[in-house]
Amino acid sequence: MTSKQQRVVVIGGGLAGLRLAARLGGGVRVLGEEPHVPYNRVLLAEVLAGRYAPEVTALPAPGPALRRGVRAVRIDRAEQVVHCDDGTVEPYGTLVLATGSNPVLPPLRGLFEPEGRELPHGVHAFRTMDDCVALSAAVRPGVRAVVIGGGLLGVSAARALAERGAQVVLAQQAERLMERQLDAEASALLHSHLTSMGIEIHTECRVRGLATTPTAPPAGHRRVTGVELADGYRLDADLVVLACGVRPRIGLAQAAGLDVRTGVIVDDRLRTSDPRIHAVGDCAEHAGRVYGLAGPALEQADALAGVLLGTGPGITAGSGSGYTGTRALTRLTLTAGGDRPLDLAAFGETTPLPGDDVVRLTDATRRTYRKVVVRGDRLVGGVLLGELSSVGALARGWEDDCSLDTATDVYHLLTDDGGS
């Protein structure tokens, strides 16, 4: 092989891209758009809360494989090269897209000026270290902050701002918080816990626009003063956090003519429609699913390393499959000053289908809630709040798709000993 044929180029210096580079060893070039030392995005809420300094989130040093502050702008599939914004060209034999995702900026009135793309002062996305640092610098005790979005990201941001002493309002369009992960009972407990932190919560609440006012010179700058709801109610705001979800970054792949839907479509070997190009992480769509979580991104990176090296389970070079999907578990810890933290975990299908069996254990005094959904003799999902001592055993039973002999097995898994 020529050096070009052997060369692996990874576009994206986040968790997935760097994990893949570490697994592959030498001969890899990683193009990282952000100028920062690579960091663990999962810990951004802890940085915002003031619990961690930004440097604590740093990922292991990738060495000379990483080019920081370089953005890929075009893929030339015919020439097998990547054009970068600094004028350089990176040739590849295998190209891996680990481009991640962008925050969703909702179509709110007043968010942008006509023909402009600059957010008003005080309005922040919450996706990158730059977002986190800018938001952290703007927070002070008593500041009025409105978080738009009550999913995992919005709940994390609201909790962090409240810990910094902000007066926080959480606006959620759906009927309950974290509706994708939690059932109604668990969401109600989460609602109660956040309220105990002083967070004001509005569900089934559609935000219509932002109220802004001109700032001092230079002309054209605006500062947010409030959030306007569809029912005409206005929430005063010094800060607004847009936590409305993320969208896979597929523009580069789309411009290169690769097959895309929500994400960049990949097969079990994480190949795109061009067999020389693969995709992993938030930008990849496998079997109709885009995960958008750290766990699946790392699993995909490991699987692709096995494919490229010919060392994965059941893989020989040039044949076999490397990735069959991830059973993703969501975990979050919420604190309330000196109060006992509230831990939560959710996995699989938390809403039962007709014919499913549901087992619940609730302790209002200890603020614990545990629920599992069983279909036939298989554990298909669960939600736990409070004590998570049993989450390991439950997750293993779910991930391994083990059969449950009796209802006693389920009860045993739900108890504090975790089935041990």
Three-state secondary structure string covering the chain: CCHHHHCEEEECCCHHHHHHHHHHCCCEEEEECCCCCCECHHHHHHHHCCCCCHHHHECCCCHHHEEECCCEEEEECCCCEEEECCCCEEECCEEEECCCEEECCCCCECCCCCCCCCCCECEEECCCHHHHHHHHHHCCCCCEEEEECCCHHHHHHHHHHHHCCCEEEEECCCCCCCCCCCCHHHHHHHHHHHHHCCCEEECCCCEEEEEEEECCCCCCCEEEEEEEECCCCEEECCEEEECCCEEECCHHHHHCCCCECCCEEECCCCECCCCCEEECHHHEEECCECCCCHHHHHHHHHHHHHHHHCCCCCCECCECCCCCCCCCEEEEEEEECCEEEEEEEEEECCCCCCCCEEEEEEECCCCEEEEEEEECCEEEEEEEECCCCCHHHHHHHHHCCCECCCHHHHHHHHCCCCCC
Q: Does residue 420 surpass a pLDDT of 50?
A: no
pLDDT of 366-398, one tens digit each?
Answer: 778 888 898 888 888 889 887 777 677 777 778
- Calculate ∠ Cα 79-85-87, nearest 5°: 65
Q: Does residue 216 surpass a pLDDT of 80?
A: no
For the chain, the first-to-last Cα distance in angstroms comes to 52
Question: In one letter, which amino acid is 358?
Answer: V
Domains recognised in the chain with CATH numbers: 3-102+246-309 (3.50.50.60), 123-242 (3.50.50.60), 329-414 (3.30.390.30)
- Which comes out higher in pLDDT, residue 95 or 341? 95
State the pLDDT at residue 315. 41
Global pTM? 0.88
State the pLDDT at residue 6. 75
- Calculate ∠ Cα 293-285-154, nearest 5°: 35
pLDDT of 228-281, one tens digit each?
Answer: 999 999 999 999 999 999 999 999 999 999 999 999 999 999 999 999 999 999
Compute the distance between CA of residue 397 and CA of residue 327 in angstroms, rounded to an integer.
11
Compute the distance between CA of residue 305 and CA of residue 16 in angstroms, rounded to an integer.
11
State the pLDDT at residue 344. 87
State the pLDDT at residue 199. 97
State the pLDDT at residue 89. 97
Lowest mean pLDDT among 94-98, 127-131, 226-230, 397-401: 397-401
State the pLDDT at residue 386. 79
Question: In one letter, which amino acid is 384?
Answer: L
Lowest mean pLDDT among 58-72, 207-221, 405-419: 405-419
Q: Does residue 340 surpass a pLDDT of 90?
A: no
Compute the distance between CA of residue 382 and CA of residue 112 in angstroms, rounded to an integer.
41
State the pLDDT at residue 195. 94
Residues β-bridged to residue 369: 362, 385
Q: Does residue 219 surpass a pLDDT of 80?
A: no
Compute the distance between CA of residue 161 and CA of residue 146 in angstroms, rounded to an integer.
10
State the pLDDT at residue 369. 87
pLDDT of 156-214, one tens digit each?
Answer: 999 999 999 999 999 999 999 999 888 888 899 899 989 999 999 999 999 999 999 99
Number of Cβ within 10 Å of residue 94's Cβ equals 21
Compute the distance between CA of residue 325 and CA of residue 322 in angstroms, rounded to an integer.
10
C-alpha dihedral over 110, 111, 116, 118, to 10 degrees? Answer: 130
